[in-house]
Structure 1
Amino acid sequence: MRPAGRIAAAIEVLADVETRHRPVADALKDWGLSHRFAGSGDRAAIGNLVYDVLRWRRSSAWRAGADTPRAATLATLRFHWGVGPADLETLATEEHGPGALTEEERAALSADRLGDAPPDVAADVPDWLAPAFEDNFGDDWVNEAASLAARAPVDLRVNTLKSDRAKVLSALKRFGATASPISPVGVRLPARAGWERSPNIVREDVYQRGHVEVQDIGSQAAALMVLAHPGEQILDLCAGAGGKTLALAAQMDNRGQLHATDADQNQLAPIFERLKRAGVRNAQVHRAGSDLSALEGRMDKVLVDAPCSGSGTWRRRPETKWRLTPEALERRTDQQAAVLDQARAFVRPGGTLIYVTCSVLPQENEAQIADFLDRAADFTLTSMADAWVDIAGEDAPMPWSAEGLMMTMTPAATGTDGFFVAALKRTG
């Protein structure tokens, strides 16, 4: 397909998503099935444009002067992909293209009006979330929020049970792989631009053999901050598909006992194959709803990777930014409080509860910890600053709040997805 046809296809997919209120992945899949002439490269390229439009939906609509799939797509091409007005005019009128520009579109795309936009528009966040970002990041909140709209790199965690970073870097050299910042077991492949597709890592030998896992550097850092050691007893209470479980097993060098469970059995289902591929032998998976009473008061570490809004992962899942509602956020904070109360029973005296979210919203993070400490007099916040320096290095950014007792990683501050981490020691 020529670029003009890809642009028209992206507008068609976005209109389908908007009209039928359906997941973007489903709309892209159905478009591909009904347009068999489009190859895999075309489908990936169309997906790139669709997701970029969703990343910058509010600011693009402002620049275009209209909030429609066509307007936002044209503005994304103009102001984020760097397509000049004359080239955009040509693409629009080519065969299978989206159609000639109107006079209003030409005027809107000839000059950038973003400087006149309200802060929440420039930040590309829903207006109702602007106060939360300002509360969390102060004067820099627009920049912090806007950083969550950019494309993300592909981050990999080296599985030290089977390989090391030097070998993985050599195997992935053709993709521009580099040793990532912050995580000593991280490898980063740069984000692609425009139509260019990201490498399909799951087809590579290093993935098939369990030498790497796809995992954002922020997620790797959060797992490292658990400070898992060989021989410990650790519970991953919200294990999901097992990304952090695998990371903990590697830190423990397959020694000790690692328990993994999740309230959603469907979320937990992929963990079995992943554990096998990674060569993990010290993990015991407990099905959703299992009786875990035998573990109460025995765990050295309990990891709560809590269900959350996912605001920290908007770079990778931009459509979720616009689907989040105040009601959904309130349900998540209720779930977080409940799982924290559940987790405290498993921590032994002197043990540590580590609370993690992939969110940058204070309701899910600092406020949740403050409320928990009001309920749990036998827990206290413990600083992770020294551990952070040991893991990330002395030159790494220090994304701390509350005098080093809680941390928030972000694309702007640490070059990662958004993650919050706090460690609470049981004193009684």
Structure 2
Amino acid sequence: MKGIEAALLVWKEVGEGAFASEALRRVSGQLSPGDRKLAALLVYSALRRRSLWRFMLEKRLRRPFKELKPITRDALMLGLAGLMELKRFNPGPLYNGLAQVMKAQGADDEVPLFHGVLKRLEREGQELLDRLRVSSSPRDVAMYHGLPLWGLSLFMDQWGPKKGRELARLMGMTRYSSFFVPPSEREGLMDAMRSAGIRCWPSDELDFSVRTCSHGFPPEVPGYREGLLRPMSESSMWVVRCAVHLAKGGRVLDMCCGRGVKGSALLSLDDRVTLEGWDISEGKVRAARGDLDLRGLSDRGVIRAGDALDLIPEEEPHLVLLDAPCSGSGTWGRHPEGKWRMSPEEVDRLSGLQRRLLDRALSLVPKGGRVIYSTCSLFREENERVVGEVLSSRRDVVEEPFPFRGADIVKGRPFGVYVWPRLPWADGFYCAVLYRRG
């Protein structure tokens, strides 16, 4: 399989609901490193500014975009994204490769249209981008940076016009991989990564993070298959650092554990901690159990499937981690497909669920216990508003200061802190520490 063919396959799967990173991982074993990189660049370039590419194509087509054959629509989107984003890539081979797949899938009659539209945009596309880049219209700002207009409006309403536009720019920035590594093994693993041709260096704020300058294919990274390191954004690592500080060797409940990444990192950093993890997804529970087994941590961690609003802990936790289901708006740079699947109505629904989960988490810790509430969202509806409403309904709970400072840790208004996504290894994240008084 070639990179262009793989990109079209992944793009189709993403359109059917898959996550781009997982779809790319499924085909990566059939690709050379060069084709793997090309497929990832095409897919993510098309996803980040999907609405912009669609707008540009519709302005140059003489027939409705939706009336074209599916493979033609996909080829046009990837072709235009490659043309505009991959400046060092010769567009001729890209067009020809996409056209070959179109012919193989019975779209021979639309190949001339495909070539004609992209050739025209070769001449005119940059001028249109330049006009959008300097425009102050929220619609144009959203389109240029690849955000839903409602999402940009929320950013600007909550952070102000200047910060809102900055977030729009940051959401379009290329994200790179960082890896969680136990501090005692960091130097040795970085040496192995460099020997494998991977440029890497230690984080200057987290002593268990290794930064790279690539999107990364984890199975190729030395130590990954052996469970010695794992991909994790530095935003998530700040939550882990906070949990290590507050757990103090006690029992921890990871209430919506997902694949168990934060929980296993916590166990790796403090061998006194025991952990119970819950998730409603059977698939994620299996992945979390497998992760603990791989890393030799299953003797201190148990993962259970079920609804976090109903399950009863096997042991009373000293600390609860609640990384609540959310819009993912802080990760739209890393997982751009998420922004096209979200809506204001879904944000409202999620905020209601988050309030119920947070209230449940606080009911599970004893007096003197703590809850770390976090989301990968930059919307106040899912963060300060949730915390504020729960605090107003419970006199036995107070907020505590976040125990660490960092260059990109920003105070919430008025509760919690945000990790600002200024660096390519960090996503937008929110975290608040709540204490149940005795």
Structures share fold, TM-score greater than 0.5: yes
CA pair 23-256 structure 1, distance change in 2 beyond 3 A: closer
Query: What's the CA shift for 1:207?
Result: 1.7
Name the amino acid aligned to 1:399.
V
Q: Is the 8 A contact 2:384 2:412 kept in 1?
A: no
The TM-score normalised by the length of structure 2 is 0.79
Per the alignment, in what secondary structure is the counterpart of residue 235 of structure 1? strand
CA pair 349-207 structure 1, distance change in 2 beyond 3 A: same
- The residue number in structure 2 matching 1:207 is 224
- The residue number in structure 2 matching 1:177 is 200
> Residue 279 in 1 paired to residue 296 in 2?
yes
Query: What's the CA shift for 1:210?
Result: 2.0
What is the alpha-carbon distance in structure 2 between the residues aligned to residue 175 and residue 340 of structure 1? 41
Query: What's the CA shift for 1:23?
Result: 3.0
Query: What's the CA shift for 1:96?
Result: 3.6
CA pair 379-316 structure 1, distance change in 2 beyond 3 A: same
* Aligned counterpart for 1:312 among listed residues 326, 330, 333: 330
- The residue number in structure 1 matching 2:148 is 126
Q: Is the 8 A contact 2:416 2:431 kept in 1?
A: yes
What is the alpha-carbon distance in structure 2 between the residues aligned to residue 100 and residue 294 of structure 1? 62
CA pair 379-70 structure 1, distance change in 2 beyond 3 A: same
* Aligned counterpart for 1:388 among listed residues 401, 404, 418: 404
The TM-score normalised by the length of structure 1 is 0.81
Unaligned runs of 5+ in 2: 66-72, 102-110
CA pair 187-37 structure 1, distance change in 2 beyond 3 A: closer
What is the alpha-carbon distance in structure 1 between the residues aligned to residue 187 and residue 27 of structure 2? 38
What is the alpha-carbon distance in structure 2 between the residues aligned to residue 262 and residue 28 of structure 1? 22
1:41-60 equivalences under 5 Å are: 41-42=34-35, 45-60=38-53
What is the alpha-carbon distance in structure 2 between the residues aligned to residue 90 and residue 236 of structure 1? 49
RMSD over aligned CA atoms reads 3.4
Per the alignment, in what secondary structure is the counterpart of residue 187 of structure 1? strand
- The residue number in structure 1 matching 2:105 is none
| Count, aligned residues | 400
What is the alpha-carbon distance in structure 2 between the residues aligned to residue 17 and residue 284 of structure 1? 33
CA pair 104-45 structure 1, distance change in 2 beyond 3 A: closer
> Residue 108 in 1 paired to residue 103 in 2?
no
What is the alpha-carbon distance in structure 1 between the residues aligned to residue 314 and residue 7 of structure 2? 53
* Aligned counterpart for 2:353 among listed residues 335, 339, 346: 335
Which one has more relative contact order, counting CA pairs under 8 Å at least 6 apart?
A: 1
What is the alpha-carbon distance in structure 2 between the residues aligned to residue 376 and residue 361 of structure 1? 23
CA pair 274-367 structure 1, distance change in 2 beyond 3 A: same
More helix by proportion, 1 or 2?
2
- The residue number in structure 2 matching 1:159 is 182
Fraction of identical pairs, as percent: 24
Query: What's the CA shift for 1:329?
Result: 2.4
> Residue 264 in 1 paired to residue 285 in 2?
no
Query: What's the CA shift for 1:271?
Result: 1.4
Per the alignment, in what secondary structure is the counterpart of residue 50 of structure 1? helix
Query: What's the CA shift for 1:141?
Result: 0.9
Q: Is the 8 A contact 2:320 2:370 kept in 1?
A: yes
